[in-house]
């Protein structure tokens, strides 16, 4: 299972890009809207679930870049109320992905503390399954 905090050494070109970026102004806050995972899956002849997983993998990569260059706050818009109008199978798939990823995040609490990361889940959390509500409320502590 993929980790929220990859331990792989950076390639030389990645390190070079980080240095170049460091010479300019770095934003304090970046927002990411998770959109297009289903379209990506259809375009690449894969199951929607795989498209959502690949979207999450790209998000973790982007979050790593943010940590690397010193962006101190990231907001991720990942699931709108409109998404509940999708098929039950797709909503269940998304909830299972969220469940697995938040549980994995909790397993990496030492890294959360090491990097000074604070995770807050915003919005109408009461619409989420009870177990996901419990996991996300634990992360605020």
Task: Summarize pLDDT for 84-115 with one digit per residue, the tens.
Answer: 999 999 999 999 999 998 888 888 888 888 88
Check: CB of residue 80 under 8 Å from CB of residue 94. no
CA-nearest of 57, 51, 55, 60 to 90 is 51
Beta bridge pairs of residue 29: 73
CA-nearest of 92, 89, 24, 30 to 59 is 30
Alpha helix stretches (DSSP H) within 9-141: 12-22, 37-43, 48-69, 88-107, 109-115, 130-139
Residue 132 has pLDDT above 80, yes or no: yes
CA-nearest of 1, 9, 24, 117 to 63 is 117
The confidence score (pLDDT) of residue 115 equals: 80
pLDDT above 90 covers a percentage of the chain that reads 38
């Amino acid at each position: 299972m993929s980790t929220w905090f990859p331990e792989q050494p950076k390639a030389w070109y990645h390190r070079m890009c980080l240095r170049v970026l460091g010479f300019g102004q770095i934003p304090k806050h970046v927002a990411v809207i998770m959109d297009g995972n289903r379209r990506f899956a259809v375009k690449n002849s894969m199951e929607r679930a795989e498209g959502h997983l690949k979207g999450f993998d790209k998000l973790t990569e982007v979050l790593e870049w943010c940590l690397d260059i010193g962006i101190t706050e990231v907001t991720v818009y990942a699931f709108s109320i409109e998404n509940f109008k999708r098929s039950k199978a797709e909503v269940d798939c998304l909830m299972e992905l969220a469940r697995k990823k938040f549980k994995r995040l909790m397993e990496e609490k030492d890294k959360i503390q090491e990097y000074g990361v604070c995770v807050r889940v915003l919005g109408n959390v009461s619409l989420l399954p009870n177990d996901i509500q419990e996991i996300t409320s634990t992360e605020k502590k």
